[in-house]
Amino acid sequence: MVGSSPQVEPNLWQRFLRLDPQMRWGLVLIVLIILLSILVPLLSPYHAERSADTPLLRPSFAHPFGTDQLGRDLFVRAFAAARLDLLLALIGVSIPLTIGTFIGAVAGTTRIAAVSYLWRTVVDAINALPFFVLVMAIVAMLGQGVTGILVAIALTNWARYARLARARALALRDVEFIQATRLLGYSGARTLLRHVVPNVYAETLAYGLSDFALVIVAIAGLSFLGVGVRPPTPEWGAMMSEGRLLITSEPWIILFPGLLLSITAISVALVAERLVGRSRGEFF
C-alpha cells in the first residue's frame, strides 16, 4: 500500500531473521543435530559398535557421554543412532504421506456411494486404533528389524493422511474451479491429478512435518520395548533400554540418548506447529 523501495528479494539469512523465535530455535536445533549426526561418527576415533574403553566410565572430556556396559563410547553411538532414527523417520513419513494423500484424494473426488461406507469401516477403524498399538501388532506379524518397522508404520499411518486428504478433497469438490473442470469436459483422472492432488498435497505435506516428530518417537519407542531395532545396532530407543538397567548408578547412559531424542522431537514439533498452524490458519 505505501509505496517503498522496490521489494528486493530477501536472501535466506534475512528471511531467517524475520521468522519468529519459536521457528528460529526449532530450525537451529534441527540443523545442529543433523550436522552432528553426520560429523561426529566420521571425526571421532571410536567406532559405534566396538568397545572403546573400560566400561561404565563417567562423562569426561574423552567420552562426553561416558561409556556403556561394554565400554562403547556413547557420544559416537548417540549420534550414529541419530542418523538411523532420522533416516527411518523420513522414510516412515514419506511413504504413507504419498499413498495416503493419493487414496484420500481419489476417495474424496469419486461419486460412488459405496466408497464412503467402505471408508467408514476400514479407514476410520485404523484411525480409531491407537497408532502405537497397531504398529507393534504388525511388527509382531512381519518380524522385527528395520523393514518390519517401516512397513508397519506405512500400513498404519497412511490412514491418517488419507482421512485428511479426503476431507480436503471433499471440501474442494464444490469449489468453483473444480466444477469448472467438469464443465470443460476434463476427464475425471485429469481433474484429479492436475487439480485435486496438488491442492490436497500442500496440506498433508505440512501435516507430514508434525507427523515426523511423532514417527521418530514411535520408532525409538518400539526399540525401547525391544520390539523394533535390536541391539547392538546403535539406536536411541535400544540404547535407552540398555541403559535403563543402571538408572541408579549410571543414569547418563539412559539420559543422554533420551535428551537427544527429546530435543529432536521437540524442535521438529515446534517448527511443524508454526508451519501447520500457519498453512491451515488454525489457532492452537
Grid coordinates of 259: 535428551
Query: How far is the C-alpha of 22 from the C-alpha of 17, rounded, in Å?
Result: 12
Pick one of 32, 125, 171, 189: the residue that binds other proteins (CB under 8 A): 125
Instruction: Give, as ranges, the residues between 9 and 68 that touch other proteins (CB under 8 A).
Output: 20-22, 25, 50-51, 55-56
Residue 140 engages other proteins in binding (rule: CB under 8 A): yes
Residue 183 CB neighbours (<10 A): 8
The residues near 137 (Cβ < 8 Å, ≥ 6 apart) are: none
Instruction: Compare residues 192 and 254 and give the one whose CB is closer to other proteins.
Output: 254
Instruction: Give, as ranges, the residues between 197 and 256 that touch other proteins (CB under 8 A).
Output: 207, 210-211, 213-214, 217-218, 220-221, 224-227, 230-232, 237, 240, 244-249, 251-252, 254-255
Residue 165 engages other proteins in binding (rule: CB under 8 A): no
Residue 100 engages other proteins in binding (rule: CB under 8 A): no
Q: Report the candidate in 103, 83, 79 with the shortest Cα–Cα distance to residue 91.
A: 83
How far is residue 262 from each of residues 7, 116, 224, 268, measured CA to CA in Å?
40, 39, 14, 10
Instruction: Provide the minimum distance between the beta carbon of 228 and other proteins in the complex, in angstroms, as a whole number.
Output: 10
Residue 270 engages other proteins in binding (rule: CB under 8 A): yes
Residue 158 engages other proteins in binding (rule: CB under 8 A): no
Q: Is the dihedral of CA 162, 165, 171, 172 positive or negative?
A: negative
Pick one of 70, 95, 146, 170: the residue that binds other proteins (CB under 8 A): 70
Residue 93 engages other proteins in binding (rule: CB under 8 A): no
Q: Report the candidate in 261, 174, 185 with the shortest Cα–Cα distance to residue 218.
A: 261
